[in-house]
Amino acid sequence: MKVYLVTKNADFIEGRGPMIPHKIFKNKESARDYISTKKGIFGSPQYSVPAIYSDGSEGWNGYEINEFLLIEDFSLQKYNEEQDKIREIKNKIEELKKEIKELEIKYG
């Protein structure tokens, strides 16, 4: 699955800062639509057409769009499934701790 990472210049006064991750979109059009609503460096108007770099990324006024391919094993769905398993284990640990306290109280 392709995703589009919008990065934003960390310095919106001079535009000399590093590009930092800002938002992720499922399609390039949504990323472009989002950027088109944002002002550029020092509050200047946003470009109507981006610069296209040699790697295929798009340069906007203070923003860039980069395309990434997510590998299935690192998908959000798999991540969420793993997080659910971790939550279940943590809940079981808490239940066991409560049970231990009850037994300590009961048998001293």
Question: What pLDDT shows up at residue 73?
Answer: 58
Residues 63 and 22 in one domain: yes
Residues 42 and 17 in one domain: yes
pLDDT of 80 strictly over 90: no
Tally of domains in the chain: 2
Residue 58 · residue 52 · CB < 8 Å: yes
**Residue span of the structural domain in which 94 resides:** 73-107
Residues 39 and 77 in one domain: no
- Closest to 48 in 3D by CA, of 57, 58, 56, 84: 58
- pTM for the whole thing? 0.63
Residues 63 and 82 in one domain: no
pLDDT per residue as tens digits for the range 27-56: 999 999 999 999 999 999 999 999 999 999
Residues 61 and 90 in one domain: no
